[in-house]
Structure formats: structure tokens, C-alpha cells
Amino acid sequence: MRLVLLGPPGAGKGTLAGLLKDQLGLAHISTGDILREEMKNNTPLGREAKQYIENGELVPDEVVTKLIDHKMTGGGMAGDGYMLDGFPRTEQQAQDLDRILEKLKKPIEHAIYLDSSLPVIIQRLTGRRICRNCSALYHIQNKPPKKPGVCDTCGGEVYQRSDDNEETIKTRMDVYMANTKPIISYYEAQGKLQKLDADKDAKDLQEILMKTIAR
Ligand code: AP5
């Protein structure tokens, strides 16, 4: 199975990818996670990305596309299946991705558009918490860790992302509407788009998605 997950910040791309990874054993490639790891390790790329991420802006296309090319082409992916989460985010990225995947003979089968409403997005993002060590996702209301501030899975510190504040969320939404929403029609034109109501509970969404792609 070869999927891209599209949708606004907080639509639940990472959450759904986590569930599908367990169910289908696909490689989960999240540009947001890769960039945060680079920031954590204070690499030159991490230092470059930090200024964009903290302002809610997009990291330049050539930087993220190179990352994805390296990840997909340079091996390290068990099997043929993948789920891309947070990439592509611009039409240029979508076109470059198609070129990379064409060379690899691993074209996208389904582009899953998680459509979520603004109040739900804001509730999810302002309440999200994340493990600094293993990136496990939590939410202060929807999915709190058993012990506050401590990851259930690895015991790591659970923190709030610096871009999950109301002001940066607003910028991220504006950036999404201007740059990423238009690529929905790019995949629609290819006959690959599946739109799902992402305000639903994550497990229900997983079930609906499995039925949709089995058709
Ligand atoms: P990235 O990390 O990709 O952020 P994003 O797209 O804004 O998406 P999020 O991670 O915020 O949300 P999500 O949809 O994964 O939601 P989640 O599952 O976590 O990117 C961050 C930054 O990196 C960008 O702003 C940009 O600067 C840069 N970047 C990354 N990729 C780039 C690219 N390709 N080009 C240029 N720049 C790039 O869920 C959120 C919360 O809600 C969680 O707490 C979860 O528990 C809860 N939740 C989720 N789903 C449900 C549900 N169904 N029911 C109840 N609760 C739910």
C-alpha cells in the first residue's frame, strides 16, 4: 500500500499513520518528525528549519524534497509500502514527488484527504502533547498520558510543541490554505483522492479508511 496523508495541521495525519503503521506495517515518513529530530540534534538542517517551524511557515521546497528523495531512494525502507505524512505541501513538492516515485516505480495509490473543521483543529492542536524521546502523541483531554508529563511507552518527557500556540496555529492554517489545500485538486485530477471526515474518532476513521481503500 502506498499512501499520502493530506490535510490541515491537527487533522490527525500523525495519529492515523500511527494506527495504520501497526495494522499494515507500512513505513511512516513524516517530514515534520524528521525536521524536529534534526532540531533536537541541533544539526545545520535543524537550525535552518527551526526559524520556519517556529513561525509556522514552510521550510523551502528544495530542502524538504531533498530529505524525502534521500529517505525514499537511499534505502532504509523495508518493503514497498509507505505512508507520507506532511509531504507534499506545495504543488512543486507534489510534482517532484511524482518524479522521484516514478524513478522508483512506486507511484502513489491513494491520496487521503483528512478534512477537519476549525474548532476541532484548534482543540486538537492546543491540547496536543508529544514525547520528546519517541514522538508518541498525546492530548490533554482526548488521550492523556497515564502519568502527567511522562510517556506511557518509553517514560520520556511529554512536552508541548513550540508551534502549537494559537498565534502560530493561525499562521499554519493560512499557510495551509494558500499552499497545501490547492494540491487536493492535483490528486483529484489523477483519480487518487479519497476524502474522509477527520472530525471523527481516530479508530472510526481508521476503519472507514480501510474500507475505502479496499474498494
Ligand atoms: P508537521 O509536524 O507536519 O505539522 P502539521 O502538518 O501542522 O501537522 P500536525 O503534526 O500539527 O498535525 P497532524 O495532522 O499530524 O495531527 P496529529 O495526529 O498530531 O509540520 C510542522 C512544521 O514542519 C510545518 O509547519 C513546517 O514548518 C515544517 N514542514 C513539515 N513538512 C514540510 C513540508 N513538506 N514542506 C515544508 N515545510 C514542512 O493530532 C493532533 C492532536 O489531536 C493529537 O494530540 C492527537 O492525539 C489528537 N487527535 C488526532 N486525531 C484525533 C481524532 N480523530 N480524535 C481525537 N483526537 C485526535
Q: What is the pLDDT of residues 42-97, one digit of tens each?
A: 999 999 999 999 999 999 999 999 999 998 887 656 677 899 999 999 999 999 99
> CA-to-CA distance for 137 and 18, rounded, in angstroms?
9
Residues linked to residue 176 through DSSP beta bridges, in sequence order: none
Atom in ligand 1 nearest the alpha carbon of residue 88: 34
User: Taking the domains of the chain in order of start, what are their residue ranges?
Assistant: 2-118+166-214, 128-163
- What is the predicted pLDDT for the residue at 76? 58
Q: What is the pTM of this model?
A: 0.94
Residues in the chain, pLDDT under 50: none
Mutate to test the pocket of ligand 1, among 28, 39, 50, 58 (most ligand atoms within 8 A of CB): 58
Q: What pLDDT score was predicted for residue 60?
A: 97
- For residue 73, what pLDDT is reported? 86
Angle 65-69-74 from CA coordinates, rounded to 5°: 155
Q: According to the CATH classification, is domain 2-118+166-214 in 3.40.50.720?
A: no
> What pLDDT was estimated at residue 65?
95
